[in-house]
Chains A and B, each alone.
Chain A
Amino acid sequence: GENVEQHPSTLSVQEGDSAVIKCTYSDSASNYFPWYKQELGKGPQLIIDIRSNVGEKKDQRIAVTLNKTAKHFSLHITETQPEDSAVYFCAALNYGQNFVFGPGTRLSVLP
């Protein structure tokens, strides 16, 4: 089955700096890779996703890159703000199967 690894487990950055979180997956059949933001006591919120036929996707300060050959994908947040502080989860999905989530990264943006 699919296995998703995520690094780092914790990340602290100064406000305005960039943050990068990396994930690797094991199942080459996975073709959808979402990123979720989870604030304390709340459910995960989709912030960006990418499908296997695309190498990069950007939405304002957030971008995701995918390397299918190497089976890894990354989340990039630029100009970080204190409200970006949360736990971020990557996930991999093969349509018809279930999500497999990474272990999460706790991001702290220091003012």
Chain B
Amino acid sequence: GAVVSQHPSRVICKSGTSVKIECRSLDFQATTMFWYRQFPKQSLMLMATSNEGSKATYEQGVEKDKFLINHASLTLSTLTVTSAHPEDSSFYICSARTGGNYGYTFGSGTRLTVV
């Protein structure tokens, strides 16, 4: 089946630095990828939708200058958390539309801890 590979699985960074998270579709081309954020014991909240070759669409309240999304190829989307602060610590999950009307696959998530 369709596989979405997300890396790294865990990352610890110092406050003020930037962190890049990668999401790759391994055996299919993903024209659309989604980035979610999940706080402990809470549900997934959509941050942004990225379409290959165009600018990402951000949900209301999500700072586009802080959460940079690049979807430069049909198999790779990246999320860069710039000037990270402790409040950015969270579980970040990507998802890709695998085809058809309702095919979606999620990555395994990235636990970001900002110290």
Binding site for B on A (CB under 8 A): 32, 34, 36, 41-46, 49, 51, 89, 93, 95, 98-99, 101-104, 106
Contact = CB atoms under 8 A, between A and B. Distances in A.
B111 A44 contact: no
Contacts of A93: 102
Contact of B34 (A32, A41, A45, A98): A98
A79 B109 CA distance: 29
Interface in B12-58: 34, 41-44, 46, 49
Given A43-B108, A101-B44, A103-B42, 14 more contacts: A32-B101, A32-B102, A34-B102, A36-B106, A41-B109, A44-B106, A49-B102, A89-B44, A95-B101, A95-B102, A98-B46, A99-B46, A99-B104, A101-B43
B93 interface: yes
Contact of A42 (B34, B102, B109): B109
B62 to A, nearest CB: 13
B32 to A, nearest CB: 10
B107 A89 contact: no
B44 A42 contact: no
Interface string B86-106: 000001010000000110111
Q: Is the interface of A mostly helix, strand, loop or mixed?
A: strand
Interface residues of B, number: 20
Interface of B: 6, 9, 34, 41-44, 46, 49, 91, 93, 101-102, 104-109, 111
Contacts of B42: 103-104
Contacts of A34: 102, 104
A34 to B, nearest CB: 8
B72 to A, nearest CB: 22
B102 A102 contact: no
A86 to B, nearest CB: 13
14 contacts: A32-B102, A41-B91, A43-B106, A43-B109, A44-B93, A89-B43, A95-B102, A99-B34, A99-B46, A101-B43, A101-B44, A104-B42, A104-B43, A106-B41
A102 B91 CA distance: 17
